[in-house]
Amino acid sequence: MEDNKIVEMYWQRDEYAIVETKQKYGKLCYGIAHNILHNHEDAEECENDTYLGAWNSMPPHRPQQLSAFLGRITRRISINRFKQKTAQKRGGGETLLALDELHECIPDGSGIQQQMESEELAKIIDKFLRGLDAEERNIFLCRYWYFYSIKDICAKFGCSQSKIKMKLFRTREKLLVRLGEEGVFI
């Protein structure tokens, strides 16, 4: 079923919209959640919470790209679940490592919010990502949006770990420079 028809079903409060969403985007939502949480049960719960989040968000929102909309919901729910679990027990893992790597460029918390609205920051980052070559952008997104492990990224792109790590380091450095040029922080 086409995305615009699924969105319309949400707007009409047709519960079958959730069935269609799960059928079309269930693997995507589960994959995002699992890459963050590394736990089957938690990933399934986050996937299901995504459908509830979509149900509660439409209306008033009418997403242009349903997959990105669902991905954002899943990612937010999964990161919140991850933070909740790691607050109880401090553990390592790929998610924490990826967040730490990106923290060099974009710290969490109110510092950025005080300097600029999050929508403006998102526009700057989006423009930055669009300026990268396709491979560099995809590697960056795999690591910091989908939380792939370095090993998984290597397998996906057929590169060595050192090459992937260097590409990620250089891209973070470029992002840091861009954010500085835009006056975001430092």
| Domain 3-89 = CATH 3.40.50.720 | no
Domain coordinates in residue numbering, the chain = 3-89, 94-181
Q: Over the stretch 110-153, which tens digit does the pLDDT of each residue have?
A: 444 444 456 677 788 889 999 999 999 999 999 988 888 899 99
Residue ranges of the alpha helices (H) in 38-186?
40-57, 66-88, 93-103, 110-115, 118-130, 134-144, 150-157, 161-181
User: pTM, whole model, 2 decimals?
Assistant: 0.69
pLDDT score for 125: 87
In CATH, the architecture of 94-181 is Orthogonal Bundle (1.10)
Please answer whether residues 43 and 34 qualify as being in contact, where contact means their C-beta atoms are separated by less than 8 angstroms.
Answer: yes
Q: Give the separation between CA 86 and CA 80, rounded to whole angstroms.
A: 10
pLDDT at 176: 87
To 5 degrees, how large is the angle CA 64–CA 16–CA 54? Answer: 40
The yes-or-no answer to whether 3-89 and 94-181 have a common fold is no
